[in-house]
Structure 1
């Protein structure tokens, strides 16, 4: 069995092929027969777990196991306490009520490499960073949640999946999990 993590850059699809010729995981991962556990949108960055272990992939993707995923989210404007409380309690997006989440406003910008291309910068509109931990993964959920409370997402970076984190990975790099990481992942 193979287990690896990858720091997905902006503008890379979370799949290995694309009929339109866009960048995919194949441009970074020369490893056959591994598949992403969950997805990150083309315009999102961060940690991806890939494996050929179908049982583990199913367990980590199944909402009943409530596997935590943490994101750093740059939003337009500075969220007020009401918006933070709404995100934490769960918000209505489309025809769905999100589950409660852990949310905190970060006091300083997180240590991330610059995005290429950079986010749009509007001089008169400040931005802020949130740390948001979810235990579910609906399509474009974080972006829809922040927009629902009036603070659109500008940049989205997944920094951890359970106990796994971006620590030690540079943008576009990957590594195999250690045996201890695999054991911990299977134990959860």
Structure 2
């Protein structure tokens, strides 16, 4: 039977079990998950936080990670500024990035979800407000959400993946995991 692990990846942790090619070792999954034979299904950048799925089933891993299956991924995104209706509509339509147009996204402005504290904290500018968005995409290009919000004039300050398909972070604290 396939194993599926839901992990709340902290900020600064690599989405892999080893750190090859750097002089100073960076935190990896091996410091949090000690289960042999599981591998990440997809990626989550080092400077992003939240849900990462790990499995020992190659077919399940491909189904989760491969954009052909259009599995929805929902992010809580803290952005610089206050996106107006036009900016949100551009995100919904799928902005054009350097590598081509994105698929349409679901997006709405939300109240501050009051996530766990981040270390280090985001940069705060007294003269520039920020707000939170809930953004759902069905593809997974490199740094896609960050590039999408920047394309509409609202750079991402903090990015938390909250849901992948039917799996969610729910009550998982950063660095914690549970079997699905």
TM-score by length of 1: 0.92
Matched, 1:18 2:19: yes
Alignment of structure 1 residues 1-188 onto 2, 5 Å: 1-19=2-20, 20=22, 21-106=25-110, 108-177=111-180
Distance 2:114 2:81 in 1: 20
Secondary structure, aligned partner of 2:148: helix
TM-score by length of 2: 0.96
Unaligned regions of 5+ residues in structure 2, if any? none
**Aligned Cα root-mean-square deviation (Å):** 0.8
Q: How many residues align?
A: 176
Q: CA deviation at 1:111?
A: 2.8
Secondary structure, aligned partner of 2:63: helix
Q: CA deviation at 1:119?
A: 0.2
Any runs of at least 4 consecutive aligned residues in structure 1 with deviations exceeding 4 A, and if so which?
none
Secondary structure, aligned partner of 1:128: strand
Distance 1:89 1:9 in 2: 31
Distance 1:135 1:142 in 2: 11
Unaligned regions of 5+ residues in structure 1, if any? 178-188
Q: CA deviation at 1:58?
A: 1.0
- Spell out, residue by residue over 1:161-188, the C-alpha distance to the aligned partner (whole angstroms, 9 max, x if none): 11111112111100111xxxxxxxxxxx
Q: CA deviation at 1:95?
A: 2.5
Distance 2:63 2:179 in 1: 20
Further displaced range: 43-52 or 18-27: 18-27
